[in-house]
A and B are shown apart, each in its own frame.
Chain A
Amino acid sequence: MSDPADLTIAAAGAALRSGEVRAADLLDAVLRRAAVTEGELHAYLTLDAEGARAAAVAADDDLAAGRDRGLLHGIPIAVKDNMVTRGVETTAGSRILAGYLPPYDATAVGRLREAGAVIVGKTNMDEFAMGSSTENSAYGPTRNPWDTDRVPGGSSGGSAVVVAVGSALGSLGSDTGGSIRQPASMCGLVGLKPTYGLVSRYGLIAFASSLDQIGPFARTVADAVTLFEAIAGHDPADATSYRGTPPEVRSGLDGDVAGLRIGLVSELMGDGIDPEVRDAVAAAAERLEGAGAVVSDVSLPALDYALSAYYLIAPAECSANLARFDGVRYGPRLQGATVEEMMAATRSDGFGPEVTRRILLGTYALSAGYYDAFYGQAQRIRTMVIRDVHAAYREVDVLLSPTSPTTAFPIGERVDDPLSMYLADVCTIPTNLIGDPAVSVPVGLDERGLPIGVQVQAPALGEQVMVRVAAAVERLAGFGARPGMLEALG
Chain B
Amino acid sequence: MPPVPVEIDIAKVARLARISLTPEEFERYGAQLGDILEHAARVQEAAAADVEPTSHPLPMVNAHRPDEVRESLDRDEVLSQAPDREGPYFRVPPFLEEQ
Contact = CB atoms under 8 A, between A and B. Distances in A.
Interface string B35-70: 111011111101111011111111010010100000
Interface in A70-100: 100
A342 B92 contact: yes
Contact of B90 (A309, A328, A381): A328
A210 interface: yes
Nearest to B55: A379
Contact of A360 (B19, B60, B63): B19
A196 B48 contact: no
Contact of B73 (A104, A302, A382): A104
A240 B58 contact: yes
Interface residues of A, number: 75
B82 A330 contact: yes
Interface in A333-350: 333, 335-345, 347-348
A363 interface: yes
Q: How large is the interface on B (under 10, 10 to 19, 20 to 34, 35 or more residues)?
A: 35 or more
A32 interface: no
A348 B65 CA distance: 39
B84 interface: yes
Interface stretch (A111-119, A130-138, A141-149, A367-375): A367-375
Interface stretch (A37-45, A256-264, A351-359, A482-490): A351-359
Mostly, the B contact residues are loop
Contacts of B63: 239-241, 243
A280 B84 CA distance: 55
Contacts of A197: 57-58
Contact of A196 (B14, B16, B57, B77): B57
A311 B39 contact: yes
A364 B33 contact: yes
A412 interface: no
A342 B92 CA distance: 9
Contact of B83 (A305, A331, A382): A331
A81 B10 CA distance: 31
Contact of A419 (B12, B29, B36, B54): B36
B39 A196 contact: no
A314 B35 CA distance: 17
A339 B94 contact: yes
Q: Which 8 pairs of residues, A with B, have the shortest CB-CB distance? A: A435-B57, A379-B53, A380-B47, A333-B83, A373-B4, A239-B63, A103-B77, A377-B43
18 contacts: A101-B81, A103-B74, A104-B73, A197-B58, A302-B46, A305-B42, A308-B42, A309-B43, A311-B39, A330-B83, A338-B95, A338-B96, A339-B92, A343-B18, A367-B13, A376-B53, A384-B51, A422-B36
Interface of B: 1, 3-4, 8, 10, 12-14, 16-21, 25, 29, 32-33, 35-37, 39-44, 46-49, 51-58, 60, 63, 65, 73-74, 77-78, 80-84, 90, 92-97
Interface of A: 100-104, 196-197, 210, 236, 239-243, 302, 304-305, 308-309, 311-312, 319, 323, 326-333, 335-345, 347-348, 351, 356-357, 359-361, 363-365, 367, 369-370, 373-374, 376-384, 386, 418-419, 422, 433-435, 460
